[in-house]
Amino acid sequence: MKDSKIKQSWAEPYKIKMVELLKMTTKKQRLKAIKEAGNNTFLLHSEDVYIDLLTDSGTNAMSDVQWSALMLGDEAYAGSKSYYKLEAAIKKYYGYKYIIPTHQGRAAENILSKILIKKGDVIPGNMYFTTTRLHQELAGGIFTDIIIDEAHDPYSEHLFKGNVDIAKLDKVVKKYGAKKIPYISIATNVNMAGGQPISFANLKELRAYTSKLGIRIIHDMTRVAENAYFIQQREKGYGKKSIQSIVKEICSLTDGATMSAKKDALVNIGGFLATNEWDVFEEARNMVVVYEGLHTYGGLAGRDMEAIAIGIAESLDDNHQHARVGQVEYLGHKMMEFGIPIVKPIGGHGIFVDAKAFLPHLTQDQFPAQTLAAELYIDSGVRTMERGIVSAGRKANGENYYPKLELVRFTIPRRVYTQAHMDVIAESAAAVYERRKSIKGLKMVYEPKYLRFFQAKFETLK
């Protein structure tokens, strides 16, 4: 095949051993379900969903090796064998010195924010993530966006929209002083920008800048393998390097990390905090006992730690990532053929539809992305997620954030759906696009205090 001019497809490096049956619903049933859910796809019962693209978090299909490792889980309260396997995997593949398991990513964010952030501190980052920013704010910090402008433009074809604008960072440093900046928050494959990577060159430049000032880089490595895939495919000099080696190089440029293993690490639950600093580790080890559990399980069962240790290795396989991102790109191209406005370049973990362009007759206060997600569900039972004004939430003074990006995320779980499912998704999006002019917006009728997108309720405007 390699000698042929025919382009090699992204086909999966696995076959299906077990299937999960899905309920097929009628439009009448879906209309009832979405009404009961207050037009919020988070509040639907998953049983009523046909293809679930709400998130790629915890929705991965584990391999036969991971499933069989569950039986090896050592459920000892202290010093579990499974913990030492997880620690060894993190050291081997990511290279961080000290690790604390946590039940998921936000638990690591909570502990780290409490340790490193003092009231009035400023945390610059390459775009916010909902839980990460909230924990920074709850610890008394202020998040500042230092991502390049292109990241806020859904149509910029910049290949590394996750890059930091060093000039923006320099302004923040000059304004507040390095002492007020406990760390820079760097996500690999920036979720809210549409699953967009940071380049190795940019990260290196950032490292050089922060080293001079003694500022840490804390790595949100939730989707580091997908980011490494893009570096391999797009950045000069990395084409022949393995994803495994690129991931380790990325980690080596940072001082610590928080990880939601529910994404790239191919499990259904789990996370960890990693650091190269003994002092930070010592304090985290104290705090994890308060919030999660003993430092050798951190809220996880031994079997979960076994599955993560294997999932980390599987996620760094070049063939896996080629198929993973290949499937996402397949869906994206299909949607573009139908004329649907999506964020470009196509990201790593899903397709992000530009709801402002899809429903231009709605103002942002009428929740175009929330509306579109509800309409897609009604059309076909495909569940997507709002990533716009609802997700952005309110500032400390109570005002709404008005993010430039008003997106609907079609997040693809890893190793779960087939190419035919991708076709159904694109066709449904096209059907809704055809009748877009008749779609009415929403008003919010219930708003929770924190992370409102999870539980808010909406009614259709008359």
Residue 413 binding ligand F0G, by CB under 6 A: no
Is 272 a catalytic site residue?
no
Which stretches of 200-301 are DSSP H helices?
A: 200-213, 224-234, 243-252, 278-291
Long-range Cβ contact pairs of 376-379 (< 8 A, separation 24 or more): 376/408, 376/428, 376/429, 376/432, 377/30, 377/33, 377/34, 377/41, 377/44, 377/49, 378/27, 378/30, 378/31, 378/34, 379/27, 379/428, 379/431, 379/432
Residue 369 binding ligand F0G, by CB under 6 A: no
Query: What DSSP assignment string belongs to 109-161?
Result: HHHHHHHH--TT-EEEESS--HHHHHHHHHTT-EEEE-B-GGGG-TT---TTT
Residue 126 binding ligand F0G, by CB under 6 A: no
Q: Give the whole-angstrom CA distance, residue 460 versus residue 462.
A: 6
The smaller minimum CB distance to ligand F0G, of residues 173 and 274, is found at 274
The smaller minimum CB distance to ligand F0G, of residues 73 and 347, is found at 347
Q: Least Å distance between CB 222 and ligand F0G?
A: 4
Residue 57 binding ligand F0G, by CB under 6 A: yes
User: Residue length, the chain?
Assistant: 462
The smaller minimum CB distance to ligand F0G, of residues 222 and 232, is found at 222
Is 77 a catalytic site residue?
yes
Residue 129 binding ligand F0G, by CB under 6 A: yes
Is 130 a catalytic site residue?
yes
Residue 312 binding ligand F0G, by CB under 6 A: no
Rounded to 5°, the CA angle 12-14-16 comes to 110
Q: Is 289 helix (H, G, I), strand (E, B) or coil?
A: helix
Q: The tokens of 176 are what?
A: 């507040």
The smaller minimum CB distance to ligand F0G, of residues 377 and 433, is found at 377
The smaller minimum CB distance to ligand F0G, of residues 410 and 433, is found at 410
- Per-residue interface string for the shown chain with ligand F0G, residues 329-358, x marking contact by CB under 6 A: ------------------------------
Q: Least Å distance between CB 197 and ligand F0G?
A: 13
Residue 191 binding ligand F0G, by CB under 6 A: yes
Within 8 A by CB and 6+ apart from 166, the residues are 205, 206, 209
Is 160 a catalytic site residue?
no
Within 8 A by CB and 6+ apart from 301, the residues are 73, 75
Residue 102 binding ligand F0G, by CB under 6 A: no
Is 114 a catalytic site residue?
no
Residue 391 binding ligand F0G, by CB under 6 A: no
Nearest to 258 by CA among 395, 102, 136, 399: 102
Catalytic residue, candidates 74, 220, 255, 304:
220
Is 74 a catalytic site residue?
no
User: Residue 197 gets which letter from DSSP?
Assistant: P
Residue 55 binding ligand F0G, by CB under 6 A: yes
Q: Least Å distance between CB 214 and ligand F0G?
A: 25
- Per-residue interface string for the shown chain with ligand F0G, residues 260-279, x marking contact by CB under 6 A: x-x--------x--------
Q: Least Å distance between CB 226 and ligand F0G?
A: 11
Residue 299 binding ligand F0G, by CB under 6 A: no
Is 204 a catalytic site residue?
no
Catalytic residue, candidates 77, 338, 446, 450:
77
Q: Least Å distance between CB 5 and ligand F0G?
A: 39
Catalytic residue, candidates 93, 98, 129, 458:
129
Q: Using CB under 6 A, pick the residue from 87, 121, 220, 354 that binds ligand F0G.
A: 220
Catalytic residue, candidates 30, 106, 133, 263:
263
- For 117, other C-beta atoms within 10 Å of its C-beta total 21
Catalytic residue, candidates 161, 387, 414, 415:
387
Residue 10 binding ligand F0G, by CB under 6 A: no
Within 8 A by CB and 6+ apart from 221, the residues are 94, 188, 250, 251, 257, 258, 259, 264
Q: Site for ligand F0G (CB under 6 A): how many residues?
A: 15
Q: The tokens of 57 are what?
A: 């978090």
Within 8 A by CB and 6+ apart from 33, the residues are 25, 44, 45, 48, 377
Nearest to 259 by CA among 55, 107, 140, 386: 107
Active site residues: 77, 129-130, 220, 263, 387, 453
The residues binding ligand F0G (CB under 6 A) are 55, 57, 104-106, 129, 131-132, 187, 191, 220, 222, 260, 262, 271
